[in-house]
Amino acid sequence: MTKSRKSRKKDFEERIDRLFSGLDGCSKTVKAELGELSDIKGELSGIEKELERIKEMLTEERRKLSGEKLDEIGDAVEILEEEFETKRKKVETRSTGKEEEYLTALKYQKAEFENYKRRAEKEKQEFGDTRFGYFIQDLLPIKDALEIAIGHGKENENSEGLVKGVEISVKQINELLKREGLDEIKAEEGEQFDPFKHEVVSKEMVKKHPANTVIEVLRKGYTFRGKVIRPAMVKIAVEE
């Protein structure tokens, strides 16, 4: 398994673990909420039954209620009103608090999802760039061989047609690769040596060139979408 695949596998495992943890936390919260709401529902049901009992008492025509009895009913109704008001405020407070909590959680989840999308797109792009980079690396030796063939052909007076055909092929390859993001590393004679882009294969003392400058390019180097995929092989000057 490549490093990229291992990294993606590890990322998936971590995200799944986070989901399990989140689900467990949510389940516990819901369970606790249901328990508290069930208690409130039971209390509201008690108030409802008591109100039905009092209403039935008031609507019963054959029963004559004394003033004292009516006072008792009045006190009971007042108590029920206070109890209901307490429960109503409790429910509204919980509802408002949960609404804000849910909105906050929703915003958090939205931000997490946007971050995940950006990571996924970046990983997808990097994976595609890596695969295409390998393809270009495999293609470069063919390009090198064609360019060498052009050089040899120019030395042969009878190979003008061959040279022309190969030059056209190389030009087409260069245009294709450049369009996809391939750029040649600058390594002209006299260019300052860059250890991140140049690979030294030979050193020579040359008076006309300062130390650590390129004398000759032995193999071209390339960057693909800003990343070095093959350093330029160069010969550099050294101090006497």
What distance in Å separates the CA atoms of residue 236 and residue 240, rounded to the nearest whole number? Answer: 13
Reported as half-sphere exposure (CB side, CA atoms, 13 A), residue 207 has a value of: 0
Write down which residue in 75, 104, 136 finishes a domain. 136
Residue located via tokens 């516990």: 28
Average pLDDT score over residue span 157-162 = 72
Please tell me the predicted confidence (pLDDT) of residue 231: 92
Do residue 60 and residue 125 come from a single domain? yes
Query: Is 11 contained in some domain?
Result: yes
Between helices 3-59 and 67-155, what is the axis angle to 10°?
A: 160
pLDDT of 27 higher than 90: no
Domains contained in the chain, number: 2
| In a shared domain, residues 131 and 206 | no
From 78, 104, 136, give the residue that closes a domain: 136
Q: In the predicted model, is pLDDT for residue 100 greater than 90?
A: no
**pLDDT at residue 98, as a whole number:** 58
In this structure, of 18-32, 202-216, 220-234, the range with the lowest mean pLDDT score is 18-32
Residues 201 and 92 in one domain: no
Q: Is residue 48 part of a domain?
A: yes
**Domain, as residue range, for 206:** 183-240
Tens of pLDDT, residue by residue over 101-131, are: 666 777 777 777 778 778 877 777 777 777 7
Percent of the chain's residues with pLDDT above 70: 81
- Give mean pLDDT, residues 29-57: 77
* CATH number, position 200: 2.30.22.10
Question: Does residue 110 share a domain with residue 227?
Answer: no
Is 147 contained in some domain?
no
pLDDT band at 207 (very low <50, low <70, confident <90, very high): confident
Give me the residue label for tokens 């693909």.
224
110 and 46 in a common domain: yes
Residue found by looking up tokens 């069930």 in the block:
38
DSSP codes, the chain? --HHHHHHHHHHHHHHHHHHHHHHHHHHHHHHHHHHHHHHHHHHHHHHHHHHHHHHHHH-TTPPPPHHHHHHHHHHHHHHHHHHHHHHHHHHHHHHHHHHHHHHHHHHHHHHHHHHHHHHHHHHHHHHHHHHHHHHHHHHHHHHHHHHHHHHHHHSTT-HHHHHHHHHHHHHHHHHHHHHTEEEPP--TTPBP-TTTEEEEEEEE-TTS-TTBEEEEEE--EEETTEEEEPEEEEEEE--
| 127 found inside a domain | yes
Q: What was the pLDDT predicted at 74?
A: 79
pLDDT at 178 over 80: yes
- Summarize the confidence of residues 173-201 as an average pLDDT: 87
9-18 long-range contacts, Cβ below 8 Å, gap at least 24?
Answer: 11/119, 15/116
* Residue 49 pLDDT: 84
* Confidence category of residue 201, pLDDT binned at 50, 70, 90: very high
Residue 75: inside a domain: yes
Structural domain includes residue 72: yes
Mean pLDDT for all residues in the chain: 78
Which of 136, 170, 195 finishes a domain?
136
Q: What angle do CA 93, 95, 97 make, to 5 degrees?
A: 65
| Each residue's pLDDT tens digit, 45-74 | 887 888 888 777 777 655 566 777 777 777
In a domain, 16, yes or no: yes
Residue 174 falls inside a structural domain: no
86 and 29 share one domain: yes
- 113 lies in the same domain as 209: no
- The alpha carbon torsion through 104, 108, 111, 112 (nearest 10 deg) reads -160
Is there a single domain that holds both residue 38 and residue 128?
yes
